[in-house]
Structure 1
Amino acid sequence: MNKLKTSKSINKRFKMTSSGKLLKHKASRSHLLQKKTSKRKRQLRKVALVDTKDILNFKQKLPYLWN
């Protein structure tokens, strides 16, 4: 059986916790920041969890992360 390819772009953007959950950075933090409130920009700094419904797609794209 051939090796499965890992999606390198997804591999760089997401990290796995020790309990098996995926972490992601929030979007909308790169530009057009002057119109966003300080509170909103502060909350966008935080790391968010990937929804459990999307985990199946990530398991296909990152086959060796769950081994």
Structure 2
Amino acid sequence: MPKQKTHKGTKKRFRLTASGKAKHRSAGTSHLAARMSSKRKRQLRGTTVSATVESKMVIKALCGNSY
């Protein structure tokens, strides 16, 4: 049987935590932040853990590897 390949787009956007959840950067932080309130920009800082349903798809795409 051939090996399962890692999905490269998912690899660039997600990381797995030690417990197996998927971390990602908050959406809407790249540009056009001048129109946002300071509170909104502050809340979007750092990384967040994705929803459980989404995590399953991410883990499958990453083949269980964390990058």
* TM-score after normalising by structure 1: 0.84
What do residues 3-49 of structure 1 show as CA deviations (whole Å, max 9, x unaligned)?
11110111121111111111010011111111101111111113110
Question: What is the aligned length?
Answer: 66
Other-structure match for 1:48 = 48
How large is the RMSD of aligned CA atoms in angstroms? 1.6
In structure 2, stretches of 5+ residues that fail to align are none
Whole-Å separation in 2 of the counterparts to 1:41 and 1:22: 22
Equivalence for 2:24: 24
- Deviation for aligned residue 1:55: 2.2
Q: Secondary structure at the match of 1:48?
A: strand
Runs of 4+ with deviation above 6 angstroms: none
List runs of 5+ in structure 1 lacking aligned partners.
none
Q: What percent of counterpart residues are identical?
A: 39
